[in-house]
Chains A and B, each alone.
Chain A
């Protein structure tokens, strides 16, 4: 019992020690970006600190490349060893907050069978979408017909929110990216 208490106390200390660590200057969590997930829950981007993340940006009404982006995220995750896989989360933020409301994100997640324990599809206010794209180094513009031109990339954030790797290989697996994820998660 005493040992258990000591263990718990150590866990608590570890937990608080982590929270007290200053955020690295090159972490994307430096900027407060308010996300709303497909479950309607609001969360700061920085609340994802502590676990490595695979991040991308997309929009649900996009017919051509965005389904491929989601496929590529899934493909990448599936290519990881189960021990690595269980340590990362997936986040896809919409370029299109006007049309991608919570209900739309949720129905998209349902339709694509994206497990909510693993996947967060999120929206943010337009100014914050632009800020997030700046943080992640992604480009996008809206066209008069409501479609978007955008760069398509998968980005690996380490547990502190630093960009550890990225790939613009979409529609098939990028083995170098899988390797980078494995290395980053292992060193975590």
Chain B
């Protein structure tokens, strides 16, 4: 009986304290920094749901305990680089320096995908992410407001050596927290953002890789705050991890009606 009680407690401990919250976003026509056709076309974002909070250290720890193949000492190198989760004390301990409610960083795209799958979710597409991040506390699209841009640029200039704040910052109009100003975030199509607009250009490979950006991004030159994010994502490989790259998950559709 006591063993059973202990087993039950263990089970309870293994479960995340609270299931992650997702909010429904309406989607719609959206003028992306990255025009769909490389010229000017607006994109159509289908209704989707987005995790209100970034995935935290505590949540990711519970995930690697349940899926040991994603622990840092077991993960296949092609799926996560050598820096993967090295901020933790050990493969299955956060340690004193790392707060449970800080967003998890130093995770690869593959690891982020696997985590989202464990929540029956996926990574958001770039357009979904950009759509959600265009909002501020009161407006769905605050991008024309210089103050919106300034606040993002202000975050970029914050030294990365300071400890990451915990999640739970102010929500935007959709109820999504910390989408600007805490960490960079993986998107599902991170390697789709900066491809040469004309694949027939077969010149210098470096030129091919990076000149596409020019063709794709001229829509809103003033919007370099967002373009910086695209440049960052495009520079990464799927196994890369960085000090400031975290993620949140998304789900397709409007979700259960309440």
Contacts and interface: CB of A to CB of B under 8 A. Distances in A.
Contacts, number: 86
B78 A140 contact: no
Contacts of A133: 191
Interface stretch (B47-55, B60-68, B193-201): B193-201
Contact of A143 (B36, B188, B208, B234): B36
B205 interface: yes
A134 B81 CA distance: 13
Interface stretch (A96-104, A111-119, A145-153): A145-153
A45 interface: no
B29 interface: no
Contacts of A65: 199-200, 202
A94 to B, nearest CB: 14
Contact of A130 (B37, B188, B193, B209): B188
A31 B79 contact: yes
Contacts of B41: 144
Contacts of B78: 25-28, 30-31, 135
Contacts of A27: 76, 78
B27 interface: no
A150 B194 contact: no
B113 A131 contact: yes
A127 interface: yes
A130 B112 CA distance: 14
B251 interface: no
Nearest to A151: B195
Contact of A139 (B75, B188, B191, B239): B191
A64 interface: yes
**Chain B contact residues: helix, strand, loop or mixed:** loop
Contact of A137 (B37, B79, B199, B237): B237
B110 interface: yes
Contacts of A164: none
**The 5 residue pairs across chains A and B that have the minimum distance between CB atoms:** A134-B238, A141-B192, A25-B77, A30-B76, A168-B205
21 contacts: A25-B77, A30-B79, A31-B79, A62-B199, A127-B122, A130-B191, A131-B110, A137-B237, A139-B191, A139-B194, A139-B234, A140-B191, A140-B192, A140-B195, A141-B193, A141-B195, A142-B192, A149-B195, A150-B195, A151-B196, A170-B202
Interface of A: 23, 25-28, 30-31, 62, 64-65, 68, 127, 130-131, 133-135, 137-145, 148-152, 168, 170-171
Given A134-B110, A149-B38, 16 more contacts: A25-B78, A27-B78, A30-B76, A31-B78, A31-B79, A65-B202, A127-B122, A130-B188, A130-B189, A133-B191, A134-B109, A139-B194, A140-B191, A149-B198, A149-B199, A151-B196
